[in-house]
Structure 1
């Protein structure tokens, strides 16, 4: 039990909680503690995914020894300066086993020396006089700020009469022979649903995967939470008439029918025809939600997106409880189904940004920066160097940005700033009261998910063509000039197959000229 008011109290020792704790530990100046209900870190991965194969890629062999570039293809490592604490040191499997993640997180916690109290289940969080009290049984801690990094720990139950009759993803058997010669309905159209369907195809007589939304493929939308190719074998069995089907529509009810189940299903693409279907088993793979039960009325966060996530500001702070912050997969509400904040390779950078936001607010520390002369050539060189190496902007496309601020003859280069945070809060300091800024992101084109990327009849802009860069669909750097709080002008760097945006006449010179026009007042 804390005898003093801690600077920060973190709930949850999963990847996000450990990442933030490691950053605080490295600071060496903040009082903090992590409370974890399980006996070790990463307890979510001890159970999920149920079929044990992660869909976060792991590629040790990249052809480069640049640690920053390597993180583009390492979706599991937390941020660390210790090469021994890279996930790629633990396995060469492209899609690793979840048990490896459990072992990795245990080593990360031990070697970074983070302060974690295991076996400590938080039972109540309250707030009075701007101080939080966090209780775990008969113990309690006080803190000026609480960061919740518990993930989405409860299964989500849609409003379907009889849904309680379905076997949940968290408790269903994963042994295929338990479903021998059975007809199975799987509710949900995400990766957990198709992962389950793939596992059962050999032993069931029939599988239907059902839900009201369209199946969206990650290779088309670039959102890694949509259906991944590694889980989509089931689609072949449907389209090649091999006994299985995908049902588009709404489940009206689930009822017991002898030893099986009777399901009323309304087909959305057949004039809302309602059909009675019969199954031996009904499995619910409908995703997860945030558990807000530990918060009393004084600290209960407002929820959003069907009450599945806490509503958050651009600082990942509760919209209605000041000082209550969120980290990890529950922070994805800020870029829901657009970028990668719901996954380790995205939120590891969001957590680092949160650490800097907390340092600015509570400890009056500047966002880290590098000084540059306010000169187009020097600024262009800095941008080109970063976009060709950064993993943060690569993973958190369109969400995190590097920001070049200009005040007088000085420019400052700030890395990995949330775009919305910069627009709302800025990076001004007493000695650098900037009014102009360049916001640098990596982005796909605005309609990138509307086109089949494998359809060769669909024309694309030629790579390395300067005049067509703004029409690029593939990932490429975008530089936006802001002045007086307003967006003034935008410059796109031409896309490139090898993601090398450094050709003098194609990338460097046009960028330098754009920066020069903006600085001289010609642009805008």
Structure 2
């Protein structure tokens, strides 16, 4: 008998954090959807990964402010819902929780929100074809149990679908990260090589550091530390203990050296690594070749976030990074397959600067995408907040969002807000929240607007030129009177006319990212608020002739009372670099006085 096709307007493949999050929004909007999940439970990936069971997403339970949204900035594991019992800090007290705690949380989230999910149902083929009596353009999904589903909109929430192996001849002699033996006794006194330079490589190294005779990590190039790049996917401090041992010459080491081949002779227990080192610092720059035998070689090359094999040949999504990521439009839709969207960790295909590859980032991407889907398929307009034509309430809201909102904090630079000022003076100002900035700049309603503003959070270490290479050296207070020379995360407001950037202004830094409070006893609590009021008024003239007090201190004369000049003795200890930076716009906050003689 022919299989009856089960139709849903939207099908979500995968019941991990992303699938559950989108399902929650779909259910709340009373849409026709279903999740198809290959495993017997939600979040199956976390039953075996990460291998050493410790997450690198923080779970900070205590914060200095009562605002719920502000506290979500420091809760990196909760999904979004109206149920305050479904917050991850109720499941673990650890700053870096265990994967098993996340599994318990996802189980409860799926059960309490009653999302529609079919488990033990693996999708084995996706095609797009016309059938008698069926609407054009539907997706048809075949599953391992012989059933068939169809849908108009398909959302891929499959997460990390397969492990990548280092693309090196002889890599079969290495053990993949997901398969390496966790029995530490086997590594005692052994020589271990790890190929990779990300968190998984250093996670393994930390785990084996007490047991191996020495560990050599080969990463092909210099490390990227999250504290320098401010990208949560780069090497995190929780995983880099081995670097201490490397710098203190305690046997374990990291090499920015390219491994070009692995070999193993028949009957030989050890694996030989052949590597090529670029030695530009030698008197004769070139390459230096060598080999080294190891007892164990472990490959930590990351994951693929798309499985192209399940798609029919005529609808295979385009990919990038050698098939690692789907190639997406700015709204997370496949560039070549209409109505096919990728959600969850694959959203980092569009964002390698913020947190789109993690729960604390993609939960907001998914909320935004849901609004976009509602507008595209259900004729429900994207949410907008209306303001009177007065700079004060608009600036107040910008400051409130910058000080409290979690979405633009977690997805800094990538996501922000948009303010559109209609030409008709009778129309109110439109304020859109949580939109991808690259997406906004492609939209006609933005490009055609006579007056448009974007506001988002951004790091500005690049303004300090070569002095920005080690951001941990920025330890002194920035130039408080110069809003341009602020290095750390802060709100920027950009003014556009007909899609062209005209001007930009930014707030003064805040240690705790609250731009609505004082940092010191004597500073002006309204400095940033008034700075933005003046900026808006400059181009909109909503409040003619009004200038708002935006100095750093509470009154102009306070500067001489609170900024104490150096003594003659102290001036003699100013480092020479200070005088060598006369032409530098932004001086780094890294200089200290030379020691006393």
Q: Same fold (TM over 0.5)?
A: yes
Name the CA distance, whole Å, in 1 between partners of 2:314 and 2:215. 47
Name the CA distance, whole Å, in 1 between partners of 2:214 and 2:400. 54
CA pair 149-427 structure 1, distance change in 2 beyond 3 A: farther
Name the CA distance, whole Å, in 2 between partners of 1:376 and 1:154. 51
| Matched position secondary structure for 1:388 | helix
Q: Which of 136, 159, 165 is equivalent to 1:157? A: 165
Name the CA distance, whole Å, in 2 between partners of 1:249 and 1:459. 36
* Residue 445 of structure 1: aligned partner: 460
| Mapping for residues 68-87 of structure 1, pairs under 5 Å | 68-87=69-88
The answer to whether 1:518 aligns with 2:533 is no
Q: Which of 215, 226, 229 is equivalent to 1:221? A: 229
The answer to whether 1:140 aligns with 2:148 is yes
Q: Which of 417, 424, 439 is equivalent to 1:421? A: 439
CA contact (8 A) 2:227 2:472 kept: no
Name the CA distance, whole Å, in 2 between partners of 1:194 and 1:308. 21
CA contact (8 A) 1:149 1:327 kept: yes
CA contact (8 A) 2:127 2:139 kept: yes
* Residue 293 of structure 2: aligned partner: 278
Name the CA distance, whole Å, in 2 between partners of 1:153 and 1:105. 19
CA contact (8 A) 2:479 2:485 kept: no
Q: CA deviation at 1:459?
A: 7.0
CA pair 131-414 structure 1, distance change in 2 beyond 3 A: same
The answer to whether 1:39 aligns with 2:40 is yes
Q: Which runs of 5+ in 1 are unaligned?
A: none
The answer to whether 1:231 aligns with 2:257 is no
| Mapping for residues 403-482 of structure 1, pairs under 5 Å | 403-407=418-422, 408=424, 409-425=427-443, 435-445=450-460, 447=462, 450-455=468-473, 461-463=478-480, 465=481, 468-482=482-496
| Matched position secondary structure for 1:20 | helix
Q: Following TM superposition, where does structure 1 have runs of at least 4 consecutive aligned residues deviating by more than 6 angstroms?
A: none
| Matched position secondary structure for 1:509 | helix
CA pair 444-157 structure 1, distance change in 2 beyond 3 A: same
* Residue 392 of structure 1: aligned partner: 407
The count of corresponding residues between Structure 1 and Structure 2 is 512
Pairwise CA RMSD: 1.9
User: What are the superposed Cα offsets for residues 319-369 of structure 1, whole Å, 9 maximum, x if unpaired?
Assistant: 111111000111101112x11101111111001111111111111211111
Q: CA deviation at 1:4?
A: 5.5
* Residue 101 of structure 1: aligned partner: 102
Name the CA distance, whole Å, in 1 between partners of 2:278 and 2:211. 29
Give 1 or 2 for the bigger CA radius of gyration.
Answer: 2
CA pair 196-4 structure 1, distance change in 2 beyond 3 A: closer
Q: CA deviation at 1:436?
A: 2.6
Higher relative contact order (CA 8 A, sep 6+): 1
Name the CA distance, whole Å, in 2 between partners of 1:455 and 1:421. 35
User: What are the superposed Cα offsets for residues 224-247 of structure 1, whole Å, 9 maximum, x if unpaired?
Assistant: 111111111100111111111212
CA contact (8 A) 1:212 1:268 kept: no
| Matched position secondary structure for 2:419 | strand
* Residue 501 of structure 1: aligned partner: 515
Q: Which of 354, 368, 371 is equivalent to 2:383? A: 368
Q: CA deviation at 1:213?
A: 2.3
